Amino acid sequence: MNYTPPTQEQVFAMRVCAGIEELAQRKRFEAATPDMVEAIAEGIGQFAAGEWAPLNRPGDLEGAKLENGVVRLPEGFEEAYEHYVEQGWNAIDGPVDYGGQGGLGEIAFLDSQRAATVGSRTIYLSWVEAGEGDTRGAVVGRGTLNCGTEDASCKIEGLETIWRQTPKVTGRGHYSHRIVFSPDERYMFVSSGERQKGTPAQDTSNTLGTIVRLNLDGTAAAGNPLAAQGSPSDQIWSWGHRNILAMDFDAEGRLWEIEHGPAGGDELNLVQKGGNYGWPTRSFGDEYNGTPIPDHTADDGFIKPVIDWTPVIASGNFFIYDGDLFAPWRGQGIIAGLKTQALIRIAFDGDTAREVGRIPMGERIRQVVQGPDGAIWALEDGEGGRLLKLTPG
């Protein structure tokens, strides 16, 4: 097993800082010159890394501000977090089932709702909820993030659960629960992991081991390939997936995903309507106990990975860069490497791709996102993990 979940605080901090950076800019980053993280910057020359915050809890950010004068936390940040955890979802469905590989999975905003001012916008969240008899499953909720115009305090209001992974099963593995939107913002794609159960990924009467394509209200979108089979099959866009923590659309509107293999066999896949990606029947990796799994072959009837990695890279997430600050990286995928403790770059050429760079970071990297100004934000994994803002060196 090569994946541990971020704390809920870390996920939240990452999205607040990078997804709605202007909020952070207004209240927190009145900062000072960021400290250079010399261990990273030296000898790499590709970027300078400014350390903005250690992230255990929002309160720790507050402490950092006092200690070194560099990092400041927006007052609204902590308020929003507390509202989110204690009032937001508890008011709807009870507590988040945090543990194993799940908890708070994703916070997502529509690109079209990015703005120079904070104001109000729709917020999409994924998390894990408990079911009957020691079972659990991922869900997606939607609400409104309202931020004050004067003090940047924020509240999530009207949070409703709009999608549930089906069925809930035992264990705490492979929720996936990533959220991305189609470029036209008509559809929400959610990665729905196979919950470490293997075979459900080939059974399209459930949504485990799939990517689902939904309307923005969480209902099955029209035109899905298994619509004739009824619910929940009508949500499915592709299947035969294992655990997808990384998904993004490229500039041409193609959806790419990276999924964790078992012992070996991490995959970059180009996601196609009705595609079956082979898990658990085929994998370039083998079971953790050494039991062989047949490799993908040309005639196996499944869609083959565009890149496969053995040993695994263990991606935390990835995004396709479209900013200006790192102009040579435009159009490339930037992957957060957990086990690899690196940022991994991949270049696309039509429907193919290849790895073109691996930047050692010295720590497990949980998540990378692109900020509005083209800077890259990277979050180290685990307690004490730092939030780094990367700009060209």
Residues designated catalytic: 174
Of 233, 244, 170, 224, the C-alpha closest to 206 is 233
In the stretch 271-290, what mask flags binding to Ca ion with x, by CB under 5 A?
A: ------xx-------x----
Nearer to Ca ion, 50 or 278 (CB): 278
189 binds Ca ion (CB under 5 A): no
Nearer to Ca ion, 268 or 344 (CB): 268
Closer residue to Ca ion in complex, CB, 25/176: 176
- Asked if residue 309 binds Ca ion (CB under 5 A), the reply is no
Residue with tokens 């047949």: 294
Q: How far is the CB of 292 from Ca ion (least distance, A)?
A: 6
Q: Return the number of the residue (234 or 286) whose C-beta is nearest Ca ion.
A: 286
Based on CB atoms, which residue is closest to Ca ion, 152 or 268? 268
Q: Which of 17, 27, 51 is nearest to 385 (CA)?
A: 51
* Measured CA angle at 227 (ends 225, 232), to 5 deg: 110
Minimum CB separation from Ca ion for residue 369, in Å? 26
Shortest reach from residue 177's CB to Ca ion, in Å = 20
How large is the C-alpha radius of gyration of the chain?
Answer: 20
Note whether 300 binds Ca ion by CB under 5 A: no
Stretch that binds Ca ion, among 27-35, 292-300, 336-344, 371-379 (CB under 5 A): 292-300
Q: Does 193 bind Ca ion (CB under 5 A)?
A: no
Residue number, 62 or 295, with CB nearest to Ca ion: 295
Residues 335-374 that bind Ca ion (CB under 5 A): none
Tell me the C-alpha distance between 256 and 46, whole Å.
Answer: 25
How many secondary structure helices (H) and strands (E) does the chain include?
A: 6, 21
204: its two tokens? 């399209």
Closest residue to Ca ion, based on beta-carbon distance: 278
Instruction: Using CB under 5 A, pick the residue from 246, 293, 334, 365 that binds Ca ion.
Output: 293
60 counts as binding Ca ion under rule CB under 5 A: no
Asked if 84 touches Ca ion (CB under 5 A), the answer is: no
Q: How far is the CB of 316 from Ca ion (least distance, A)?
A: 20
Q: Smallest gap, in angstroms, from Cβ of residue 352 to Ca ion?
A: 16
- Residue from the set 60, 295, 300, 355 that interacts with Ca ion by CB under 5 A: 295
Residue 388: strand pairing partners: 51, 378
| CA–CA dist 256, 248 (Å, integer) | 6
Work out how close the CB of 107 gets to Ca ion at its nearest, in angstroms, rounded to a whole number: 28
Query: Which two structure tokens, joined as six digits, stand for 239?
Result: 């299947």
Binding mask 239-278 for Ca ion (x = CB under 5 A): --------------------------------------xx
Q: How far is the CB of 211 from Ca ion (least distance, A)?
A: 13
DSSP helix/strand/coil, 205? coil
Tokens of residue 232, six digits: 């929940």
The alpha carbon dihedral of 208, 308, 310, 48 has a sign of negative
**Is 100 a binder of Ca ion (CB under 5 A)?**
no
End-to-end CA distance of the chain: 35
Does residue number 312 form part of the binding site for Ca ion (CB under 5 A)?
A: no
Which one, 77 or 256, has the nearer CB to Ca ion? Answer: 256
> Is 35 a binder of Ca ion (CB under 5 A)?
no
Q: Is 79 in the site for Ca ion (CB under 5 A)?
A: no
The Cβ-side half-sphere exposure at 163, using a 13 Å CA radius, reads 33
Measuring CA to CA, how many Å separate 216 from each of 18, 56, 123, 188?
22, 32, 11, 6
Q: What is the DSSP letter of 235?
A: G
Give ∠ CA 318-319-323 in degrees, rounded to 5.
145
User: What's the CA dihedral at 29, 84, 99, 194 to 10 degrees?
Assistant: -100
Decide if residue 147 touches Ca ion (CB under 5 A): no
Burial class for 143, CB neighbours closer than 10 Å (0-12, 13-18, 19+): buried
Task: Assess 209 for contact with Ca ion (CB under 5 A).
Answer: no
Give, in order, the Cα–Cα distances in Å from 263 to each of 2, 287, 298, 313: 9, 6, 21, 11
Residues that bind Ca ion (rule: CB under 5 A) add up to a total of: 5
Residue 220 or 271 with smaller CB distance to Ca ion: 271
Taking the complex as a whole, the smallest distance from the CB of residue 194 to Ca ion amounts, in Å, to 12
CB neighbour list of residue 310: distance below 8 Å, 6 or more residues apart:
261, 264, 265, 266, 284, 285
Residues lying near Ca ion in the complex (CB under 5 A): 277-278, 286, 293, 295
